Structure 1
Amino acid sequence: MVKTYLTGFILLLGLANARAECPDGWTIYAHNCYLFGHTPYSFHESQNFCVHFGASLVNVESDAENTFIRGELMTLKAPRHWIGLTDEVNEGVWALYPSEEVATFLDWSHDPVWPQPNDGLNANCVAYFNDHDYHWVDEPCNNHFNPICKMPVPVNGNRPSVVG
């Protein structure tokens, strides 16, 4: 019995000392790490890039998270970045990638000249666009934009470094 309590105490002490950090080159926000890639890839190549780091293209879940990402992109003056959202499986139904869950948060560009989403069968993947004030635009998946990767903050664990 004393051994059980002692083991539990040591475990809690270890957890209390654990530090949550993102890998070098990643940005922390709300218990997640974000990588704003600098090399353009197609949508599917971008997902593979993120998976290499144990992450996935970002699935934007809330207005707060979207505001954070838009702010980072504005600071970086980044042109276009893929997010994990597509209607490749079911045209017009925007789903998170790769889970295929229907998205509950959307932030389409409201540009009256170029309303979004607008390209039907030709544009099945979603990116932030600088010329749309970093709101979302549907684009052909084979276009080459930079990825935004997201993963939970590792705790004293594997911290992959960014290459490329």
Structure 2
Amino acid sequence: MDQQIPQNCKFEENNSKSSKKRSRAAFSHAQVYELERRFNLQRYLSGPERADLAGALKLTETQVKIWFQNRRYKTKRRQMAAELATTPTTALAKRVAVKVLVRNDERQYNAEELLSPSVPPLYQSFPYYPYMFCFQPWISGNTLSGGL
């Protein structure tokens, strides 16, 4: 059973629009200087501000927008790295209270303390029977033989 695919639906491997990879935009030193200067004044630009800056630097608005996004992310990464470097390693470790069981080769506990909890449970626990609810022949006439 052959089906004809309409001409406009066929995939063409040599489509020049989809196969070209966009090259990386290289900014001039003057453009980077002006972008950095503006970033130091304000980290976010409004639409008209972005359009004015793009026009002045002979860039597209998208290039300016992406440059500011990347620069904000770079600033955030550097700030987090600096905070991590100044934080002492002891502050990163979580402190946990641990009961001492043995000190100087002497036992520091009673056997009953380890077996029974020192704090009573907040609720009464019940035995868990996972298959109890699967087969209940005593409810609504169900039997194990499959009668419903």
TM-score by length of 1: 0.22
- Where is the helix percentage greater, Structure 1 or Structure 2? 2
- Where is the strand percentage greater, Structure 1 or Structure 2? 1
